[in-house]
Each structure stands twice: as structure tokens, then as C-alpha cells.
Amino acid sequence: MATVLICRRFPRLSRVTTFVTTVKREAESGNSQRKQKKEENPETANTEPQSAATIHLLNPLDYRVVYNPAAYAKSRAASQQHTARSSGQALGDTFTSPGTVQVQHTFGPTSSQALPPIRNALPNPEAKPLLEQTLSHCFSAAQSKEEAEKGRERHNSKEDPRTFQKGRPEYRSLCYDRFEPLDTLSLEEGDLILDGMVVSEGNQSPGVISDDFCQLSRLPAAEHAALVSDPRFNMLCSCAVKNIRAFSTPELIGVLKACVRVGVPPTHRLLNAWENEFCRRAWDMSLEQLLLVADCWRCLERSVPSYLSILFSYANMHWKDLTLPQFVQLIYIIGEGRRSPMDLAQKMESMILKCLDSFTLEEVGAVCLGLFKSLSGISDHTMRRIADRVALEMEDMSTYALVNVLKVLRYTRMDHLPLLKELGKVIPARIPTVNIQGIMHITLSCSSLHYFDEGIMAAVAMSLPSKVTYCRSKDAAKFLWSFGCLDYEPPNEEEFYSSLIEQMHRKLHEFRKFPEHLLTGLLGLAFVKRFPEELIDYALRDEFVQRTRGSKYELKKDLFTLGKSVEIECPSYQGSHLPTHLYQEMTEMALNFAEQEIYVRPEIVEATSLLENMLGGPEYVKSHMILPHTRSSDLEVHLAMDGHPIPFNSKDPIADKTLKDIGVSLTDDLLTQLIKGSSTNLSSVAVGNKAKTPGEEKREEARARCTGDHAVLSRGALTTDIGLEVEPKSGSWLEASSSQQPRKVKLAIQVSNKNHYCYCSKRLLGLHCLKRRQLRQLGYVVVELPFWEWFPLLKRTRLEKLSYLHYKVFDPALLRRA
């Protein structure tokens, strides 16, 4: 198997323990020549030496890409394009990045050996100037690049949503057939028709005009653009508009279909008149005609909200007369129109349940796509019924239809384990033949549902590098988000991440319009300890922060998470930072949310209360967000190195009242009790002469309740009774100077829930991995009360819960780790 050594230079990239090998943009010398080669042949361009070695296998003998037309209608075209050019989706428990609904990755047949991570790498002082060059080059050519790439992406990543129409002959009368066989009209015959229009000066009957349109639409496709700009064709259009009321409905439809074939621009004045006329006649047309006209408008990519409103009202009135093909076509039109008629929602769901077993698998996919695009609500029962059928017949389903099911499954947050398990069996083998858009939705569905399947993710990772140039900014960002969300670093992690980071550099100009995509990708990278400093510097600049305000997503919380993570994990970072006022604003927002939604949760309230009783009072426990940017709470506890709890929560009002110079007299009896760990009555202890305040009495009552529990909570050498606190006669611990305070262990107790983990597993999600990593970096020892242990205990006795917390907090291994 032939191999070639590829040398690449790497942009500055920070990582906690490892540094990603990312491909650097071309240096100034030789830039133009290298770029020209890449444009002409990206495959050979990527083999040019740059600096840091990566090994690629060229043309492996045993590698084949299987063509599967049933899965994707345009895979032949995508394959041809790929051969020529391929080279190189709320605060609280869940972390929702902007646009989490769309993420994309690409993986390729290359079987490169990943480079070992570069450790202790130093920052590159030349990185920033190179990024400036990149930005200036990208933005100057942004418009032309976007236009050029739109065509390529439509060709390579978009699939035909109309495949289902080939499954039944009834669709021929409901939709425009692009593959209808027609005899080609010669140029000479076309000229005769147009000249005849000029000679007659437009005085032709509607039937003749309609026939002229149909005849001209049979000209060779290469001549259609010239036809539309021909003055004689414009005269024909003017004549048609002038006599529009004289046309019969079939003649109007015939002209509209001819416009689709010719490719008349959606803003053409003829179409304006035709839309108005169809709206006027709609109530006199049949449902078949209405659906056909709606399909033609879709083919012309013309927005016709008024016409669609009439169509939906008509369908609502004639709902009982709808046939199965008419219903599926209607849902397709609803989806393509991106609007969900409220009065049809319940009827649509009932019809889906009624016809579900009669749908073809492609129709199931079309129905799901329509629901997803129109954001139509669907009940869990209906979604589960759809998923039940798909799980049983997935092997026979095209990948395109399956992806559409995954989209709506993701939208409804349906955790259908049989379907997900079957997906893990069926989809990995198909990944190499799936286009970028499909791979993206498969990957994003897994991450959105928090479902980790290593087979799926590894197949995606292996296929991505060879297809990465087809990724839009959104696709690359959401691939990074998905892998980071699931905290998965594939076997080819260096090649995988470097290819995506390089694509993010190439698409930098797109982030000006879609800033949410850059933050999505950078957060996904941060979850797995990767911090590309050039991109981060750009994302934290004032100019970019201002752009985020124009986004339809709330991006402040994502900027907050990214900015604080960089401060903690990249101490050598010297780029841009967020302004202080933004940090303060987001911290306050996070804390307010926690007060209302997190601290009041039963599992956290119970843990806080029991810890206070066990340790001696509220001054020993603090329920708060140690890291507000990670959007979840902690219970903080401090222990001395000998294991004794240390009070530190001076803000608690009860602590303020009790920590006074009231004193406790040390007697022989008290010392005996302390040494032996006895929990006998303390009535013989001589306390100071001061009268007890009501707050002190309540506190002692709380301790007394814990005293009886202590018999089962003995912690060996740590014999101080958990219901007893000895307070010094002069001042309090909190008044002691730092030099007098003993060394201590800071515990960050995590009361987790299932939303912190992957579905049906004990695998932490990326955000919570990031949080625990940063807590450790700040000197905390992370102690978890996992939901599979703590939640069942909430129903058990108080003594059992105290015993469990005692075991967690006073585990000797914690002190050894500290």
C-alpha cells in the first residue's frame, strides 16, 4: 500500500495535557501557487509538504466506495464532485448550544496513523499575524466564495425530498414530474414559435399561448436561460398576463409547469400574476389541482404564503376526503413551506396513526421530514409508534428516509432504545456512502439524544477527513459539538480534529453571518480539552461579541462558558478576553437561575440539610455554583487534613449568630467523651453563664437529632461526635488568620442527575467532564452523589442517608488524593 509523508505547519492550539495537531494556513511564501493548485486539484494540493508529519495512505487496494442510489438520490453526482474536489443544535442540567439541531462531520477512507500528541508545546508568536492574513483574505473573497460554494453544497449535501413520490402512481397527478419524458424541441422550431408571437402582436388565444409555453419548455436545457432573456419570450409572457382571466384552470397549470421546466426566476412578473389568479380560483379547483400547483411553486422556489393558507383551509374542510397520497403530499408541502397550520395539527396526527401501517418506508420518512421542517408538534405516543415501525424495518429503509426519522426523533426528544440500538447495527456500514448532510444529522441525533454508540461515532470519524471540504461552517461546528458533547475522541482523533479545525479556518468568513456556529464548534472542542487559540481570540474580540447580539440565539451564556474555560485551562493564552461587565452579568443570571430552579430541587435540598446536620451546622456547607459558567450547582465542604470539618460559610445568617464568644468549658468528662466518641447526654457539661439565644437553641436541637444517628457513623480515627461542636472561647475559626489555619481539603460535592450522563449509561457528558476537570484544576476534590445511588436513597430512612453521606465525605481516599 503506497504511502506519502505529508508535512504540515500547525496553528497555535492549547490543550490541558495534549496539544492538537491542527493544520496551519499557508505561509505567505508560495501562497498563490499552492492555492491555485488546491483549486485545480485539492487531492494533490493536500499532499504538498508543509511542516509536522502526518501519514496518508493513497489509493488503498482493498478500498471501495459502494454506490447506493436507493439511499441517496444524488450520490452519483456527489461522488463525481467528490472525485474532482475531495481532499482533505438553557441554563441548568443540559447544555444547549445555538443551533444544536444541526451538526455535521465528514469521514473518509484514509486510514492514517494518528500522530502522537505534542506535549508541552509553546505558543507560536507568529500565529496572530497569520490569522489576520487569513481573515483579510477570507473576507475580501467571501461573497464570491459563498456563491460558488452554494452550488457545490446543494449538489453534494442536499438530497431529493421528493423520492417518496416515485412509490405510487397516484402522485403523478399531485406533483410536478421532473423526469417526465418529453420530445426535445429544436432551436429552429423554437424560433418559429417566438417569431409567430411577434407577427401576431400577441393577439393569440389562451389555448395557443398555453401550447406555446409547453412547446418552448421542451427546448434543450442549455437554451433555457437564453429563452428567458429573449424579448420575444417576454412578449409571450405579457400576452399571457393580459389574457389571464380567459385561461382555463388546466391551461394555467400547463403554463406554470412550463415555467418550472424552463426555470423562470421566482420573482418574474408572470409568476406574480399567476399566483394572484390561483388564489382567486382556489375554491373552484380540486384538491389534486391545488396540491399540484403548490408543488410547482415549491419547484420554482417561490414563497406563496397566501396560496398555502387557502390550500390548508381547503384541506381542512375536505379532510375526510383525503386519500393517503394526498395526505403525504400535503405534509410534504407543509414542511417545505416551513409553517404548521394550527387547525390541522390534531387531524394530521390522527391521520398518521390511522395510515402508519399503510405508508411505504419512504413515505414514513417524508412525513417525518414534513413534521420536522414545519416544527409541528407530535405526541410521544405517535412518535413512539413511528419509531416502533422503523426499528423493525430499518434494514429495508433508505438512509435518507431514516435520517428524516432521526430528525423528528431528535426534535421530540424521544428516547426510543430499540430504534437506537438497531441504528448502531445498521448505520455504521452505510456511513462511507452517506453524504455530509446525512452524516451530520446522524451524528447530531446521537448527541442531542445523549446516546453514545462507539460504532457509529468511530465510523463517522473515519469517514470525515476525506469529506471535510464539503462541510459548511455549520456542519463542521456541529460535528465538533456532537463529539464533544458525548466526550468521545476517536482512534484517529488527531486527524479528525485537525481536519475540522482547518475547515473552521477556511470557513471563517461565514462566522460573520452565523456567529453561533463558531461558538458551537469551540465549545465542542473545549469539552475535550482542545483550545485553538486563533479561533478563540477571534471569538472573544469585541467585534465578534457585537455580532452575536444580532443572532436569533442567546449566545451570551456560550461566550461566558468559553471565556471562563479559557481563563482556567489556558493560563498561557494571551489573546482577547470578554469584558468584565459581561462576566458579571452572566454570573448574576446563572446564580438567579440556580436560586429559582436548582437549589430547590428535592435531591439537593435533602443533601444540603443532611450535610449541615452531620457536620455541625450551615457554616460547614455551602450550596452554590463554584463555577457559574458550567451551569450546575455544587455542595462545598472543607476538611482539615486530619479529616475534621472546617467552617467557612460566613454568609449564612445562622452561622453569624452562633459564632460568638460564648465559649465551652473543657472538663474531664467532656474530654473523655471526645476521646471515646461517646454520644451520651451532655447535661453535665458546664457551659458559660450567657443565656442561649433562640437561634442557638434551634441549632442544639438539630444536633441532638443527629446524636442518635452517630452510632452507625463512626469514622474510626475521626471520633468527634457529628452532633457536637466545640467553639473556642475567643473569637471563631473564621476570624483566624490564614497563617493560623491548617491545610485543608476543599470538596466539591456533585448531586448529579441523569441529564449529566449519556442515555442508559454512566458516561458523563462533555459539559460535566469539563466542569469536573476545571474543579480539580482549581484545587477541589470532586465527590459525586450519583443519581443511581442517591435518588433511591431519598426514599429510605434518614439514618441510611446519613450513613451514605458520611461514607462519601469522610472517605480516607479523599485525603490521600488531596
Question: How many residues in the chain?
Answer: 818
The three three-digit cell numbers of residue 399, written as one number: 438512509
Residue 765: what are its φ and ψ, rounded to 5°?
Answer: -75, 165
Give the pLDDT of residue 256. 95
Q: 551: helix, coil or strand?
A: coil
How buried is 546 (Cβ within 10 angstroms: 0-12 exposed, 13-18 middle, 19+ buried)?
exposed
Compute the distance between CA of residue 771 and CA of residue 774 in angstroms, rounded to an integer: 5
Q: Are 263 and 176 in contact (CB under 8 A)?
A: no
Q: Answer yes or no: is pLDDT of 723 > 70.
A: no
| Domain boundary assignment for the chain | 97-117+336-578, 171-322, 602-817
Summarize the confidence of residues 813-817 as an average pLDDT: 75
Residue 236: what are its φ and ψ, rounded to 5°?
Answer: -60, -40
Per-residue pLDDT of 661-715, as tens digits, reads 445 555 666 656 656 654 444 344 333 444 444 444 444 544 444 444 444 444 3
Q: 813: helix, coil or strand?
A: helix
**H helix or E strand, kind and range, residue 531:** strand 530-532
Confidence of residue 790 (pLDDT cuts 50, 70, 90): very high
Q: Are 519 and 478 in contact (CB under 8 A)?
A: no
Residue predicted with more confidence, 93 or 330: 330
Q: Answer yes or no: is pLDDT of 530 > 80.
A: yes
Q: Answer yes or no: is pLDDT of 47 > 70.
A: no
Per the listing, cell 403530499 goes with 329
What are the angstrom distances between the C-alpha of 167 and each of 172, 359, 454, 691? Answer: 10, 10, 35, 89
Compute the distance between CA of residue 698 and CA of residue 720 in angstroms, rounded to an integer: 21
Compute the distance between CA of residue 55 and CA of residue 372 in angstroms, rounded to an integer: 42
Q: Which among 377, 497, 569 is positioned nearest to 105, based on CA atoms?
A: 497
Per-residue pLDDT of 270-314, as tens digits, reads 999 999 999 999 999 999 999 999 999 999 999 999 999 999 999
Residue predicted with more confidence, 495 or 200: 495
Per the listing, cell 436560586 goes with 595
Confidence of residue 60 (pLDDT cuts 50, 70, 90): very low
Q: Are 529 and 771 in contact (CB under 8 A)?
A: no
Give the pLDDT of residue 29. 40
Beta strands in 600-753 (DSSP E): 622-624, 634-640, 645-646, 744-751
Residue 57: what are its φ and ψ, rounded to 5°?
Answer: -90, 130
Beta strands in 547-626 (DSSP E): 622-624
Give the pLDDT of residue 767. 96
Give the pLDDT of residue 551. 85
Give the pLDDT of residue 197. 80
Per-residue pLDDT of 396-443, as tens digits, reads 999 999 999 999 999 999 889 999 999 999 999 999 999 998 999 999
Confidence of residue 464 (pLDDT cuts 50, 70, 90): very high
How buried is 360 (Cβ within 10 angstroms: 0-12 exposed, 13-18 middle, 19+ buried)?
middle
Compute the distance between CA of residue 695 and CA of residue 652 in angstroms, rounded to an integer: 12
Q: 732: helix, coil or strand?
A: coil
Determine how β-strand 13-15 pairs with β-strand 530-532. antiparallel
Per the listing, cell 443565656 goes with 691
Per-residue pLDDT of 465-490, as tens digits, reads 999 999 999 999 999 999 999 999 99
How buried is 46 (Cβ within 10 angstroms: 0-12 exposed, 13-18 middle, 19+ buried)?
buried
Alpha-carbon Rg for the chain in angstroms: 34
What are the angstrom distances between the C-alpha of 274 and each of 218, 278, 292? Answer: 21, 6, 14
Q: Are 533 and 14 in contact (CB under 8 A)?
A: yes
Give the pLDDT of residue 324. 96
What is the amino acid identity at position 389? Answer: R
Residue 744: what are its φ and ψ, rounded to 5°?
Answer: -140, 165
Give the pLDDT of residue 742. 56
Compute the distance between CA of residue 43 and CA of residue 90 in angstroms, rounded to an integer: 42
Residue 536's contacts (CB-CB under 8 Å, 6 or more residues apart) are 522, 562, 566, 573, 575, 576
Q: Answer yes or no: is pLDDT of 640 > 70.
A: yes
Q: Are 722 and 706 in contact (CB under 8 A)?
A: yes
What does the H/E/C string look like for 471-488? CCHHHHHHHHHHHHHCCC
Per-residue pLDDT of 725-750, as tens digits, reads 333 333 333 333 344 555 889 999 99
Residue 55: what are its φ and ψ, rounded to 5°?
Answer: -105, 125
Give the pLDDT of residue 670. 60
Per the listing, cell 450535610 goes with 611
Lowest mean pLDDT among 59-63, 253-257, 396-400, 553-557: 59-63
Per-residue pLDDT of 215-264, as tens digits, reads 999 999 999 999 999 999 999 999 999 989 999 999 999 999 999 999 99
Q: Which among 521, 515, 581, 577 is positioned nearest to 547, based on CA atoms?
A: 515
Summarize the confidence of residues 631-655 as an average pLDDT: 84
Give the pLDDT of residue 371. 93
Q: Are 445 and 406 in contact (CB under 8 A)?
A: yes
Q: Which among 268, 255, 347, 276 is positioned nearest to 301, based on CA atoms?
A: 268
Q: Answer yes or no: is pLDDT of 76 > 80.
A: no
Residue 748: what are its φ and ψ, rounded to 5°?
Answer: -115, 95
Give the pLDDT of residue 650. 83
Q: Which ranges of 263-317 does DSSP label H, i.e. alpha helix?
A: 269-281, 287-299, 305-317
Lowest mean pLDDT among 175-189, 447-461, 658-672: 658-672
CA triple 768-415-761, angle to 5 deg = 45
The three three-digit cell numbers of residue 558, written as one number: 456560550
Residue 577: what are its φ and ψ, rounded to 5°?
Answer: -130, 155
Q: Are 355 and 317 in contact (CB under 8 A)?
A: no
Torsion sign (Cα): 262, 472, 551, 543: negative
Give the pLDDT of residue 343. 84
Q: Which ranges of 616-733 does DSSP label H, i.e. alpha helix?
A: 653-658, 668-676, 694-707
Give the pLDDT of residue 676. 60
Mean of pLDDT over the chain: 77
Confidence of residue 607 (pLDDT cuts 50, 70, 90): very high
Q: Which among 367, 484, 395 is positioned nearest to 95, based on CA atoms?
A: 484
Q: Which ranges of 427-532 does DSSP label H, i.e. alpha helix?
A: 436-448, 454-467, 473-485, 493-506, 515-527
Q: Answer yes or no: is pLDDT of 610 > 70.
A: yes
Summarize the confidence of residues 715-719 as an average pLDDT: 36
Compute the distance between CA of residue 677 and CA of residue 727 in angstroms, rounded to an integer: 17
What is the amino acid identity at position 464? Answer: L
Q: Which among 521, 460, 509, 457 is positioned nearest to 99, based on CA atoms?
A: 521
Q: Which among 189, 91, 53 is positioned nearest to 594, based on CA atoms?
A: 91
The three three-digit cell numbers of residue 348, written as one number: 394530521
Q: Answer yes or no: is pLDDT of 86 > 50.
A: no
